[in-house]
């Protein structure tokens, strides 16, 4: 390979390496945790939409407040545990596939050669083990339950795998949502991390398949939270279901599992807007309080759209780091992990071939 600078390919994509299924939601009783029969665990049915009369709560300017005395009609789907059952079961499968670092599509052979070489070197270090550990940790702590995790009395995660051995079992509250240190020496956690690592290091003929079930003791008749469908044209809330069973999107589960990026910097980009139309997209870079730092999902720019923030807007974004790396510039090991985690995430990463 020549010493000339390798540009970003205009066509570049990588296949996702952590393939999640959608998650199905069932109801049962905590005392029947070891019963997997259809008699013990039943699909949660999304009931008929409920219509309620609420109040106006959104911000209105003073001249627009004539409507604040009018009712706000709220309509949408809801899902609950039955009144005689106290536990939620969420189940999904996760397939971990290999050929890590090999582009699915790339119109610059020198880039493809360089990134494969860098990732191959990465895979021979402890760094790939660190990534696999973090993915395993987010399974053990039940992060993928999202709002269903809040206020639960007990949560148990069980993971079956191809070996046919007894499933791994985790008390989700033994593991943190804010870091990866608590109970990091847990024996089943380390075994699960090793399985994920082996899957990532596999080839076309090898993969690792995990069957994950989370049991959550919520209380009889309690509200559960399937994924909500994007509804652009009407205000009605629509919940996701598969064959009439309440469910969670695979994308939402995958987002939780790849919430491992704690390697971003000390500043973030936020949208501040302004009174004038020309200022509505105005942004500002502000410092991050070190005590409030927490893992975010792997994204090229560290974007967290629900909070209107980007934790990696420049210099430590995927494109800057990846192109520095393939052009043999030194980047920190943690930033190498970030680059490889984006390749595991998969996606289309093409840019300006002449840039």
* Predicted local distance difference test score (pLDDT) of residue 66: 65
Residue 355 has pLDDT above 60, yes or no: no
* Predicted local distance difference test score (pLDDT) of residue 350: 78
- Number of continuous H segments (helices) and E segments (strands) in the chain: 6, 20
Report pLDDT digits (tens) over 12-50.
999 999 999 999 999 999 999 988 778 899 999 997 676
Report pLDDT digits (tens) over 145-162.
999 999 999 999 999 998
* Predicted local distance difference test score (pLDDT) of residue 275: 61
100 closest CA partner among 219, 208, 244: 208
Residue 54 has pLDDT above 90, yes or no: no
Residue 330 has pLDDT above 90, yes or no: yes
pTM (2 d.p.): 0.93
What is the SS3 assignment for 168-232?
Answer: EEEEHHHCCCCCCCCCCCCHHHHHHHHHHHHHHCCCCCCEEEEEEEEEEECCCCCECCCCECCCC
- Where along the chain do its domains lie? 12-53+77-348
- Calpha distance 126→8 (Å, rounded): 28
- Calpha distance 250→90 (Å, rounded): 12
Residue 118 has pLDDT above 60, yes or no: yes
- Calpha distance 168→80 (Å, rounded): 28
146 closest CA partner among 78, 228, 81, 87: 228
Residue that is written with structure tokens 């046919």 in the block: 164
Residue 351 has pLDDT above 60, yes or no: yes
Residue 95 has pLDDT above 90, yes or no: yes
91 closest CA partner among 240, 203, 248, 234: 248
DSSP conformation class of 2: -
- Calpha distance 108→351 (Å, rounded): 12
262 closest CA partner among 310, 294, 232: 294
* Predicted local distance difference test score (pLDDT) of residue 206: 85
- Calpha distance 321→127 (Å, rounded): 16
Give the H or E element holding residue 96: strand 87-97
* Predicted local distance difference test score (pLDDT) of residue 213: 97
Average pLDDT over residues 113-140: 97
Report pLDDT digits (tens) over 155-195.
999 999 987 778 999 999 999 999 999 999 999 999 999 99
Report pLDDT digits (tens) over 245-277.
999 999 999 999 999 999 999 999 998 776 666
Residue 51 has pLDDT above 50, yes or no: yes
In this structure, the number of other CB atoms found within 10 A of the CB of residue 267 comes to 15
What is the SS3 assignment for 215-284?
Answer: EEECCCCCECCCCECCCCCCCCECECEECCEEEECHHHHHHHHCEEECCCCCEEEEECCCCCHHHCCCEE
- Calpha distance 253→249 (Å, rounded): 7
């Amino acid at each position: 390979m020549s010493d000339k600078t390798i540009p970003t390919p205009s066509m570049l994509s990588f296949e996702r390496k952590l393939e999640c299924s959608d998650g199905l939601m069932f109801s049962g009783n905590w005392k029947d945790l070891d019963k997997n029969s259809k008699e013990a665990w039943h699909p949660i049915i999304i009931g008929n939409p409920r219509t309620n009369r609420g109040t106006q709560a959104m911000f209105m300017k003073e001249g627009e407040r004539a409507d604040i005395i009018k009712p706000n009609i709220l309509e949408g789907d809801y899902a609950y545990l039955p009144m005689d059952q106290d536990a939620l079961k969420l189940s999904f499968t996760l397939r971990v596939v290999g050929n890590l670092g090999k582009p699915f599509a790339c119109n610059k052979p020198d880039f493809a050669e360089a990134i494969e070489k860098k990732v191959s070197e990465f895979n021979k270090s402890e760094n790939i083990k660190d990534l696999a550990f973090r993915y395993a940790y987010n399974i053990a702590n039940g992060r993928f339950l999202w709002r269903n995790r809040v206020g639960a009395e007990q949560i148990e995660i069980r993971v079956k795998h191809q070996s046919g051995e007894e499933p791994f079992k985790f008390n989700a509250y033994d593991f943190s949502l804010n870091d990866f240190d608590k109970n990091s020496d847990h024996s089943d956690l380390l075994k699960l991390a090793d399985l994920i690592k082996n899957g990532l290091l596999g080839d076309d003929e090898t993969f690792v398949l995990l069957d994950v079930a989370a049991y959550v003791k919520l209380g009889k008749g309690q509200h559960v939270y399937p994924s909500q469908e994007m509804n652009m044209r009407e205000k009605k809330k629509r919940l996701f279901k598969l064959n009439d069973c309440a469910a969670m999107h695979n994308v939402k589960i995958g987002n939780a599992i790849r919430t491992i990026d704690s390697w971003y910097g000390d500043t973030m980009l936020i949208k501040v807007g302004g009174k004038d139309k020309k200022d509505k997209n105005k942004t500002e870079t502000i410092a991050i309080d070190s005590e409030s730092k927490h893992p975010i999902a792997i994204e090229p720019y560290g974007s967290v759209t629900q909070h209107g923030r980007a934790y990696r807007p420049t210099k430590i974004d995927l494109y800057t780091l990846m192109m520095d790396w393939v052009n043999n510039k030194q980047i920190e090991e943690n930033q190498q992990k970030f680059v490889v985690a984006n390749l595991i995430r998969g996606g289309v990463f093409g840019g300006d071939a002449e840039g």
